[in-house]
Structure 1
């Protein structure tokens, strides 16, 4: 893949005056509408997650990527609509972790702009932390764009290769009919290298393709806290190995196993989420995250890295409570070794409620 970003070169000029003028106009319009209806500005949200995807595996017969389209953190869907975006998409996004990371210089400023059919898309900032790769972008068009013009957002490659599994989400803040900002998130997998060339492709409604190649490196400002917590509940074996703490947020690593069959991956263990509170009972906002798993010797093995807001300096202890976030609908696709797909229907009646026990983690003093 051709490398479009030159670390030693001059970044393309970003038309900030024009964009800010459009933003100001959009904000004024939004304020006028708000004064009349008192209704909040709406932001559309699309998820790149597929509820269930099977991929043939020579060793273990199948591997799978899971994520619930019916359960996504409402924070991602609403936060961007609450604040005007002027300047850094991250610092003004309303996401505490992105704001802190940007203000502390942990993000990579890209500023690469491409214009196709009168639509300019600028990749502004990128953050690669323990749980997500997050991309901030600005879109400025000569014509009015439809709500779904960019579909589900960016497609991702790693050093020119498409990841075997992956999930993420994409949300936009509509500033005016021709100006909007967006945030794309890709869930981090254990197999990802600490640094690589990230390929991004955004597809437009009329067949346009904006392509970027961006060098990314995982931030080093993270403190890894061993947890090694294990518990069993209703046939589920849960193992939370560690959490990481950084200015961009908390990342929680876990694995879960449950007996089943290759024809029934819709097990309770695939819908595990976590609630985190501090010593005062204040809940740390969750941003959820996708997951993946594989079937081996009669057992489904699921794993994921869940993300949360960063904690304040006075937090000394975290209480972590696992729970199930069962979806209302879903489904999947099974793919054999020849690439033949078979649809798997969703059966909520096959899922059962499970009660897990909470546990606590001491926060190291050096995080303050």
Structure 2
């Protein structure tokens, strides 16, 4: 250990590079990314402690990926490493419980692709696809600003704030044909608790049957003050196990309103319900006069009594009838034996304000006659 303490900073960097080189890693590894990051911060920082900490944290990542050569880490180093944060999955830090579960169960893939331009490095670190949603995790390096996603100044043209170099615009995802990947809803944003990371979620994907179990996508990410976007081609593989696809065609009627469950897809990370309906939205005795029902929404309840609601927003108009409703739900704790579709409406006044309960939550009016129970094979 005394030899390590007396080394120059350059000698330490050389030792780190040599030691990491002796670690056995998968073909697609973080080796190059880690060394680039060590050297980038080593040149930029000028702080000896920062350099040592970064090197130690990087080696911690390597321990998680490969087999460390015998005798490489001394007891002092082991104690130091135990006190440092370990880089982990971006998906584990999102507010999407399905993505968290997928990451914890090892259901995601790691392309480990990086592009560097003008001192800024962008990496595609994780991908998850289950036929319902496609999630892509990005990591940025070489930028001091804590912000990752730039403020979008024009959502029609995807124009964004260019005042700070390295801020990211909205990623664009296209198929090999050049056609944009179609989806019902999406979200893009920084990941809380994970500096320099960005998460793109594309949900209710269109025409997934045509995509197959494996396909290529092209990802283009514009970056502030850098002329050309950062581009990646990623192979997406559909989750192979734990997927249930049902087309029950069952439903129920009340007065003039009728609906059918066209399809119900269940994966370890999400559920997707597609409903077709026709007829006037039913109204309860309380939804008269200045009050009226919203459109019909659909809650899902499993045989254990667990309840999940759709992630879609509320249409603040009275009695809007939607011929097709395509909704995404969080998954149940375990695969249920049955799922009951429980339709309900909310109540609006003449100013289109939602009627709220004592806790400030929208009052739900359930329509018992419209419930239907689907058996999960």
TM-score by length of 1: 0.56
Question: Residue 198 of structure 1 is aligned with which of 217, 220, 224?
Answer: 217
Q: CA deviation at 1:137?
A: 1.9
Q: CA deviation at 1:186?
A: 1.0
For the 8 Å contact 1:252–1:305, the answer to whether it is kept is yes
**Alpha-carbon separation, structure 1, partners of 2:298 and 2:218:** 31
The answer for the alignment partner of 1:212 in structure 2 is 232
- Map residues 1-368 of structure 1 onto 2, 5 A cutoff: 10=28, 13-15=32-34, 86-93=87-94, 95-146=96-147, 148-149=149-150, 151=152, 153-159=170-176, 160-163=178-181, 166-175=184-193, 179-192=195-208, 193-194=211-212, 195-206=214-225, 209-221=229-241, 222-232=243-253, 237-257=258-278, 273-284=297-308, 286=309, 288=311, 301-312=323-334, 315-323=336-344, 356=367, 357-364=370-377
- Deviation track 1:97-144 (CA, whole Å, cap 9, x = no partner) reads 223323444322111122334332211111111311111222234321
The answer for the alignment partner of 1:45 in structure 2 is none
- Give the 3 Å change call, closer, same or farther, for CA 307–15 of structure 1 in structure 2: farther
SS at match of 1:14: helix
**Alpha-carbon separation, structure 1, partners of 2:343 and 2:246:** 18
Q: Which protein, 1 or 2, shows the higher relative CO under an 8 Å CA cutoff with sep ≥ 6? A: 1
**Alpha-carbon separation, structure 1, partners of 2:126 and 2:29:** 13
- Deviation track 1:298-339 (CA, whole Å, cap 9, x = no partner) reads x974342423224325x43333223457999xxxxxxxxxxx
For the 8 Å contact 1:233–1:355, the answer to whether it is kept is no
**Alpha-carbon separation, structure 1, partners of 2:305 and 2:375:** 15
**Alpha-carbon separation, structure 2, partners of 1:289 and 1:271:** 12
For the 8 Å contact 2:297–2:345, the answer to whether it is kept is yes
SS at match of 2:248: strand
- Give the 3 Å change call, closer, same or farther, for CA 106–362 of structure 1 in structure 2: same
**Alpha-carbon separation, structure 2, partners of 1:326 and 1:215:** 46
Q: Which has the larger radius of gyration?
A: 2
- Deviation track 1:151-188 (CA, whole Å, cap 9, x = no partner) reads 47322212221246653111322548xx3322211124
**Alpha-carbon separation, structure 2, partners of 1:207 and 1:250:** 39
**Alpha-carbon separation, structure 2, partners of 1:326 and 1:172:** 35
- Give the 3 Å change call, closer, same or farther, for CA 147–124 of structure 1 in structure 2: closer
Q: CA deviation at 1:147?
A: 6.3
Structure with the higher strand share, 1 or 2: 1
**Alpha-carbon separation, structure 2, partners of 1:205 and 1:324:** 44
- Deviation track 1:202-222 (CA, whole Å, cap 9, x = no partner) reads 223435522211111322320
Q: CA deviation at 1:226?
A: 3.8
The answer for the alignment partner of 2:62 in structure 1 is none
**Alpha-carbon separation, structure 2, partners of 1:189 and 1:101:** 18
Give the CA RMSD over aligned residues: 4.3
Q: CA deviation at 1:92?
A: 4.2
**Alpha-carbon separation, structure 2, partners of 1:326 and 1:302:** 21
TM-score by length of 2: 0.55
Q: CA deviation at 1:289?
A: 5.3
- Give the 3 Å change call, closer, same or farther, for CA 143–276 of structure 1 in structure 2: same
For the 8 Å contact 2:190–2:197, the answer to whether it is kept is yes
- Give the 3 Å change call, closer, same or farther, for CA 148–257 of structure 1 in structure 2: farther
**Alpha-carbon separation, structure 1, partners of 2:293 and 2:216:** 33
Q: CA deviation at 1:89?
A: 1.4
**Alpha-carbon separation, structure 2, partners of 1:119 and 1:203:** 12
**Alpha-carbon separation, structure 1, partners of 2:298 and 2:334:** 19
